[in-house]
Amino acid sequence: MRLLSTLEMNNPTWLCFSWSLLILAVIHVTVGEMYTSLLNVKQAISVERKLIDYLRVYIDHEFERLEDIKRLQRPGDSDGQPAGVIHPDQAAAFRVAECSLQQRSPGERTRSSYEKEEANLPKLEDLQGAAKGLMRLQDVYALQVASLVRGCFQRVTKGKPIDIYLPAVSVSLSGDDCFLVGKVAYEQEDYYHSVQWLEESVRLFRGTGGEWSPENEGTLADALDHLAFSHFKTGNISYAISLSQELLNHDPMNGRVLQNIEKYEKLLGTSPPIPIRGDGLRRPSSNYLGTRDTYERLCQTQGSQPMLFENPRLFCDYFTNGNPGLLLLPVRREVLSLRPYVVLYHSFITDTEAEDIKRTAQPGLKRSVVAAGEKQATAEYRISKSAWLKGSAHSTVGKLDQRISMLTGLNVKHPYGEYLQVVNYGIGGHYEPHFDHATLSSVEAGGCTAFIYANFSVPVMEKAAIFWWNLHRNGQGDADTLHAGCPVLIGDKWVANKWIHEHGQEFQHRCSLNPEV
């Protein structure tokens, strides 16, 4: 076992704590990054409720204004009142109504209220990020799009649908929802996903008779248009013609669609047929994830710990590390793997401590970044927000540092250990295989930690901590610690990470030229 030297920042050893409870707070939201944290998504729901309340107030005020206008009718028009004679009560009502009309209109007040909340509403980037998150869940967990649309989580195994997770409440997607997801894939020229989601969109739009709703972004015609071209790009020309002809029923004078049909028919009529560029419904390859198949297989197990009967050297015990502070209350330790050495500490943190940590971290949550040369940048393969907490930020942070030090026997104070990093994951939030970070938290489904080369995954566990060394004793990086945070399928994933440097541990954890010692 080895730790990190200060010059080897890409290979820290670390301890991770996790929990799942949630506290809402007002947080500044970076434009287009709301989808990267479920906390911000929940905040957007509360903002939407405010806007609905503003709209109700607007409607009530407009009704009041209409009543004021009615009271401004000419006095001579009143029943039984001689022309030119104004009753004192009418004069008072006239002045009140006139004053009311001169005030700022309800529309202006509603617009002002909306502008105050506008920064906390989802942007186009959030829609695109949420759509990509759904497609990520579809791929990683091999989910059927049709079941996702129904609010279920199923995959087909040996020709039969298998339930992956049964939510207590199922919320179905609309034709417009599916259109928006399919359109995101379409604009990325990802026709594998656009075909599947647009097929569902067309089916649902057809089920409503093509009737358009004011809140819809798209229509049946839009879905048919995008789906026809998607099928063309995948080589299914006959179906592209059929969909285009159906589209003409809704838009007979669409010259572009007429030209497309003519082009498609010529391609079908050539002898021999002209080969069409397109790989069929084949999932796009990953340029940076060479271990995708193993990664997804481990994620789909949703926690496949090595069993004791498979490796009798694995064990569970009550652990004190020889520290007097743990003698009366030892920690429940579960050794998950020997190569690499991975340990799970159960009930490491209390509910109160978890809430304290989350509450303290919430104001500082920002989009998580990854190393990009000498700089740091956001990346699609890490979808979350994180904040760094110093030991002085809250007394609980200091207590956790002390507890980590007792368990590991290491100096975890800065600069020998990084500050505590707290992370909240977004829609389909994940962190694909890497060496310098790992996650574990309690969620209803998904989100497990997968060790790619070691070929096992750790299930989500509430308030547990996981620890491993990612350097050999001779200081070389341990490739077996390649790991990933699988996408969150259901639930709200919170984790806290602690990286401990090699520098400063020379007497607590001695080095060796032999990595096996």
Quick: pLDDT tens for 6-50. Answer: 223 333 444 443 332 222 233 344 456 888 888 888 888 888 898
Question: What count of other Cβ atoms lies within 10 Å of the Cβ of residue 187?
Answer: 11
pLDDT of residue 94: 53
Within a domain: 74: no
Q: What does DSSP assign to residue 477?
A: B
- The reply to whether 400 falls in a domain is yes
Residues 396-443: pLDDT tens digits? 999 999 999 999 988 888 888 899 999 999 888 888 887 753 336 457
Q: Residue 29 domain-assigned?
A: no
The residue with greater pLDDT, 378 or 220, is 220
Domain that holds residue 357: 304-497
Q: Examine the domain organization and report whether 54 and 159 are in the same domain.
A: no
* Residue % of the chain over a pLDDT of 70: 79
- Identify the pLDDT of residue 401: 92
pLDDT digits (tens, 9 = 90+) for 112-123: 777 878 778 888
- Specify whether 427 is located in the same domain as 358: yes
In a domain, 290, yes or no: no
User: What is the pLDDT at residue 1?
Assistant: 27
Give domain status of residue 73, yes or no: no
Residue 343 — left, alpha, or beta (φ > 0 → left; ψ -120 to 50 → alpha)? Answer: beta
- Mean pLDDT, rounded, of the chain: 80
pTM of the complete model: 0.80
Which pLDDT score, from 0 to 100, does residue 441 have?
45
pLDDT at position 77 is: 53
Which domain CATH number covers 377?
2.60.120.620
Q: Positive or negative, the Cα torsion across 137, 139, 143, 149? A: positive
Q: How far apart are CA 26 and CA 362, in angstroms?
A: 8
pLDDT at 169 over 90: no
3-class DSSP assignment, residue 417: strand
For residue 19, what pLDDT is reported? 33
**Residue 146 belongs to domain with CATH number:** 1.25.40.10
With cut-offs at 50, 70 and 90, classify the pLDDT of residue 503.
confident
Residue 251 has pLDDT above 70, yes or no: yes
Using pLDDT thresholds of 50, 70 and 90, give the confidence band for residue 196.
very high
**Separation CA 445–CA 443 (nearest Å):** 6
Q: How many CB atoms lie within 10 A of CB 394?
A: 18
Q: Which of 270, 290, 318 corresponds to the end of one domain?
A: 270
Domain co-membership, 250 together with 310: no
Shared domain check, 174 and 42: no
Mapped onto helix, strand or coil, the DSSP state of residue 246 is helix
Q: Could you tell me if residue 516 is inside a domain?
A: no
